[in-house]
Amino acid sequence: MRTVILVLLAGLCLAGCKNAAMIPADQFKAELDDAMVSMRYADYIGQRDGNACLRQHRKKLVGQGWKTRVMCTPVQDLDPVYLAGLEVELRRDRLSP
């Protein structure tokens, strides 16, 4: 069930990549490489239209819950080895129960 939900969420987020914020590759890597802090974290959601995309989660300042946004960077700006590692991790997350 978790896998189905993750796949659906990833699909919805990738469909929303048209409205995603474009960021430089170094900021993209920094968002993913930073350990989860108390108020913010990011996860890689895949590629779409030549862009690698991540979803950033930020704790709302007022009220409860999390605010999310999608940010992308052109694939050619990322190191191919780094990108391949992200893809392997994404597939592993989708396959784990």
What pLDDT shows up at residue 38?
64
List the pLDDT tens digit at each of the 97 positions of the chain: 455 444 445 554 545 455 788 888 888 888 777 755 668 888 899 999 999 999 998 888 787 888 898 999 999 999 999 999 999 988 888 777 6
Q: Which domain holds residue 81?
A: 2-95
- The whole-number pLDDT of residue 33 equals 73
Question: Quick check: 92 and 67 in contact, CB under 8 A?
Answer: no
pLDDT of residue 36: 59
Q: What is the 3-state secondary structure (H, E, C) of the chain?
A: CHHHHHHHHHHHHHHHHHHCEECCHHHHHHHHHCCCECCEEEEEEEEECCEEEEEEEEECCCCCCEEEEEEEEEHHHCCHHHHHHHHHHHHHHHHCC
Name the domain count of the chain.
1
